[in-house]
């Protein structure tokens, strides 16, 4: 470890040891990348995502309250409905029409339960393939949720719900545009080849199962948006950062801390996932067009070339913007980009700068290429050095 890097770590330690953290100073440090050592990155992200308040004297009480609240969510939204489902059939005499699974009333708790299963199936499918080139999400967590795995709680777990759920009429794949990909009626749900994922021993759970739970609770608490494909790509890097924290007292609570940090990030980013807002000023169409507006200002020749080839911003910036570039780079590089994004107060404006930088850095190739070549370049971005991209984005910001 170089002397300069050691000094940088020391700067972070000093900034994080203040009774009241100076957010402006911390943001300035984080903008150039956050060290992993000593759990510094995980702690900075919790502050930058407005989960932890700047006043450290409040942390102990605040964290206790938030983690208890998350446990309450697990009880109310996973364990209690699971107990009700597990008990169905054992005490038939007190099952009324109001709480019968065949009750057609849309307000029936069973109607809600079956709708939840549709969402759960989509979440399950998506989280199982999170970063498939890494073993991390398939590995067992060191701190399985005792509340969920408590043998005293005889209930239908999310894992069991997925195994048992077959939507008889059709299998639904819900993406951002609503309900799509409806399979043939009566086709049984074969989710995964039996040998694709290692079955963990009783009392263990994989990291992807923790992410599944976080997304399911988020969907239940936010019925207006529920779960949309792509949210798994946003929660994944946050959970990975918190669950690999070298400080065990933080790592132990990675699930609850990820949930609230993800919720805060989604409160800023959720409009990108709501189709009805696409054409409003807070929607994704406006942001995609902002990338081209900025490009026109910074590099008119490249802008005109893309316009001439009819390469519209939605062909590639939709994924870049909604998923915060999480699918364009390897996870360590995504995390480095997010250090800078999270540290910028106007983080989504800086994301537009990053997208513009990505275009100008490959301008020569784009100016020389035809439509097919250029679409391939934009959908499989060729530069992997994120430091170069962030430096260019900062340069564009400084020249604004």
Residues in a beta bridge with 20:
55
pLDDT on residue 275: 64
What is the residue extent of each domain of the chain? 62-92+102-172+196-246, 275-399
- Long-range CB pairs of 330-335 (<8 Å, 24+ gap) are 330/133, 330/384, 331/131, 331/134, 331/236, 331/237, 331/240, 333/384, 333/386, 334/237, 335/41, 335/237, 335/240, 335/241
Which residues pair with residue 174 across a beta bridge?
Answer: 179
CA 273 vs. chain centroid, Å, equals: 12
Can you give the pLDDT of all 400 residues of the chain as single tens digits? 789 899 999 999 999 999 999 999 999 999 999 999 999 999 999 999 999 999 999 999 999 999 999 999 999 998 887 776 666 544 434 444 455 555 555 555 666 777 888 899 999 999 998 998 889 999 999 999 988 887 776 777 788 888 776 443 344 455 554 444 434 333 333 444 434 456 677 788 999 999 999 999 999 999 988 899 999 999 999 999 999 999 999 999 999 999 999 999 998 886 666 665 556 666 688 889 999 999 999 999 999 999 999 999 999 999 999 999 999 999 999 999 999 999 998 888 999 999 999 999 999 999 999 999 999 999 999 999 999 999 999 999 998 7
Tokens 């989710």 map to which residue? 191
pLDDT for 175: 54
Query: What is the pTM (predicted TM-score) of this model?
Result: 0.86
Q: Is the dihedral of CA 209, 210, 212, 213 positive or negative?
A: positive
What pLDDT, on the 0 to 100 scale, is given for residue 120?
92
pLDDT recorded at residue 317: 94
Instruction: Please report, to the nearest 10 degrees, the dihedral formed by the alpha carbons of residues 117, 118, 121, 123 taken in order.
Output: -100
* Whole-number Å distance between alpha carbons of 377 and 373: 6
**Kind and range of the H or E run holding 178:** strand 178-180
**What pLDDT shows up at residue 126?**
94
The rounded distance, in Å, linking the Cα atoms of 34 and 45 is: 9
- With tokens 């301008």, the residue in question is 363
- pLDDT at res. 164: 73
> Given this model, what pLDDT does residue 345 score?
86
Residue 203 has phi, psi (to 5 degrees) of 90, -5
Both tokens of 185, joined, read 């009626």
| CA distance linking residue 288 with residue 399, whole number of Å | 21
User: What CATH architecture applies to the domain 275-399?
Assistant: Orthogonal Bundle (1.10)
Cβ(235)–Cβ(211) below 8 Å: yes
Cα 210 to Cα 193: distance, rounded to the nearest angstrom: 21
Among candidate residues 353, 326, 341, 337, the one with its CA nearest the CA of residue 386: 337
Q: Collapse the DSSP code of 85 into the 3-class scheme (helix H, G, I; strand E, B; otherwise coil) and give the result.
A: helix
| CB distance 219 to 226 below 8 Å | yes
């Amino acid at each position: 470890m170089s002397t300069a890097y050691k000094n940088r770590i020391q700067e972070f330690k000093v900034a994080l040891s203040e009774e009241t953290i100076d957010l402006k100073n911390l943001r300035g440090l984080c903008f150039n990348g956050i060290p992993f050592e000593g759990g510094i990155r995980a702690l900075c992200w919790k502050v930058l995502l407005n989960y932890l308040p700047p006043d450290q004297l409040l942390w102990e009480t605040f964290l206790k309250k938030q983690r208890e609240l998350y446990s309450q969510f697990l009880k109310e939204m996973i364990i209690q409905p699971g107990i009700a489902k597990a008990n169905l059939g054992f005490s038939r005499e007190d099952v009324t029409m109001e709480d019968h699974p065949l009750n057609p009333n849309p307000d029936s708790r069973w109607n809600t339960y079956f709708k939840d299963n549709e969402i759960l199936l989509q979440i399950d499918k998506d989280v199982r393939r999170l970063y498939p080139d890494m073993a991390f999400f398939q590995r067992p967590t060191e701190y399985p949720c005792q509340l969920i795995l408590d043998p005293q709680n005889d209930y239908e777990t999310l894992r069991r719900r997925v195994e048992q759920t077959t939507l008889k009429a059709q299998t639904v794949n819900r993406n951002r545009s609503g309900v799509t990909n409806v399979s043939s009626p009566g086709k049984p749900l074969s989710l995964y080849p039996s040998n694709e994922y290692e079955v963990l021993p009783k009392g263990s759970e994989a990291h992807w199962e923790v992410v599944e739970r976080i997304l399911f609770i988020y969907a239940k608490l936010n019925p207006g948006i529920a779960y949309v494909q792509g949210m798994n790509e946003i929660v994944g890097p946050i959970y990975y950062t918190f669950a690999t924290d070298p400080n065990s007292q933080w790592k132990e609570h990675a699930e609850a801390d990820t949930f609230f940090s993800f919720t805060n990030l989604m409160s800023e980013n959720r409009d990108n996932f709501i189709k009805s807002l696409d054409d409003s000023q807070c929607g994704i169409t406006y942001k995609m067009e902002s990338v081209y507006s900025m490009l026109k200002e910074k590099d008119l020749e490249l802008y005109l070339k893309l316009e001439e080839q009819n390469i519209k911003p939605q062909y590639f910036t939709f994924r870049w913007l909604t998923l915060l570039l999480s699918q364009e780079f390897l996870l360590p590089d995504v995390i480095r980009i997010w250090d800078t994004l999270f540290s910028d107060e106007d983080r989504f404006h800086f994301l537009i700068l990053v997208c513009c930088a990505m275009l100008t850095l490959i301008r020569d190739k784009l100016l020389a290429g035809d439509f097919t070549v250029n679409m391939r370049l934009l959908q499989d971005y060729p530069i992997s050095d994120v430091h170069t991209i962030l430096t260019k984005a900062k340069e564009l910001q400084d020249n604004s």
